């Protein structure tokens, strides 16, 4: 039987406006639900590692163990290696991988972690089956994903509702599921996982600095990233539409009363011993 493989297209790409967000992520702000389960000796697989900031944080927390960061996009791994090297970490390595068909033996890792990955893959249930397969008995599968439809903000600047509708249409046309957060538990059950702790947490952007950063990266991403190309080339929006959405983000960022919350679903699953 041929191996399953990725069929979805990564909506965001790796434009600077995307990496501005990815490099901000830490274990504390993006994997807090997992940290209490880590032990110094653990071997961890970090799927969809991107530029490696979370990977490096995890490696610091397992000084007697090892972390392998993998990503479907080979180009980003050089930045991940530089991140780890810059922090003097010797217990981390990086490789190209497809979460639907991981090139590791059964029962290899103590923890398999994926942050903002399942919303972008073609078969999240198969991905979770693979994550379970390579996890040791008694080990953990840890997954966190945003839920776009659950994002909420104030004030209701004209154009942001259009942004959300457009993003969801583009993401689904690319084969993903932007409202993944609410589905994680269901996908885990379908993958055969039984010991599941389901939680949620948020990112909140409200200070002037946070508003400027969050609105700026989305204003730029809307015009210049792979997402922008897929929106226009897929017939989902015109360049004029994208300019209007980008301007809406800038307007929201200028508002003193601006507040934006990103809800994430989380699952921490223990593999049966």
pLDDT in tens for each of the 273 residues of the chain?
A: 335 555 556 555 555 655 676 789 999 999 999 999 999 999 999 999 999 999 999 999 999 999 999 999 899 999 999 999 999 999 999 999 999 999 999 999 999 999 999 999 999 999 999 999 999 999 999 999 999 999 999 999 999 999 999 999 999 999 999 999 999 999 999 999 999 999 999 999 999 999 999 999 999 999 988 889 999 999 999 999 999 999 999 999 999 999 999 999 999 999 998
Distances in Å between the Cα of 41 and the Cα atoms of 73, 109, 137 are 29, 11, 16
Question: How much is the pLDDT for 183?
Answer: 98
The rounded distance, in Å, linking the Cα atoms of 131 and 143 is 10
Q: What is the pLDDT of residue 51?
A: 94
The pLDDT assigned to 17 comes to 55
Looking at residue 226, its pLDDT comes to 85
31: Cβ contacts below 8 Å, ≥ 6 apart: 54, 57, 58, 113, 115, 142, 144
pLDDT digits (tens, 9 = 90+) for 14-56: 556 556 767 899 999 999 999 999 999 999 999 999 999 999 9
pLDDT at 23: 80
Question: What was the pLDDT predicted at 2?
Answer: 35
Q: Which helix (H) or strand (E) holds 186?
A: helix 184-190
Q: What's residue 1's pLDDT?
A: 33
What letter does residue 41 receive in the DSSP assignment?
T
pLDDT of residue 144: 98
Pick from 54, 248, 55, 254: nearest CA to 163: 248
pLDDT at 16: 64
């Amino acid at each position: 039987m041929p191996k399953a493989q990725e069929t979805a297209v990564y909506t965001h790409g790796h434009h600077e406006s995307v990496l501005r967000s990815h490099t901000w992520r830490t274990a504390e702000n993006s994997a807090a639900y997992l940290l209490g389960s880590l032990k110094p000796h653990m071997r961890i697989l970090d799927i969809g590692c991107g530029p490696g900031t979370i990977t490096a944080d995890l490696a610091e927390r397992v000084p007697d163990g090892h972390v392998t960061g993998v990503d479907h996009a080979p180009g980003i791994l050089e930045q991940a290696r530089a991140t780890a090297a810059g922090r003097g970490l010797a217990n981390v390595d990086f490789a190209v991988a497809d979460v639907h068909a991981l090139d590791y033996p059964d029962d290899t890792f103590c923890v398999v972690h994926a942050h903002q990955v399942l919303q972008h893959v073609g078969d999240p249930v198969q991905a979770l089956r693979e994550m379970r397969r390579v996890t040791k008995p008694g080990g953990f599968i840890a997954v966190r994903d945003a839920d776009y439809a659950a994002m909420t903000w104030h004030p209701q600047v004209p154009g942001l509702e259009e942004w959300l509708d457009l993003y969801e249409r583009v993401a689904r046309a690319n084969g993903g599921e932007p409202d993944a957060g609410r589905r994680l538990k269901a996908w885990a059950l379908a993958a055969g996982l039984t010991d599941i702790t389901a939680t949620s947490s948020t990112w909140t952007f409200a200070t002037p600095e946070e508003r400027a950063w969050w609105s700026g990266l989305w204003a730029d991403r809307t015009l210049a990233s792979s997402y922008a190309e897929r929106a226009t080339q897929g017939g989902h929006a015109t360049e004029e539409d994208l300019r209007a959405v980008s301007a809406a983000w800038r307007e929201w960022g200028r508002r003193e009363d601006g507040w934006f919350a990103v809800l994430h679903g989380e699952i921490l699953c223990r593999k049966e011993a």
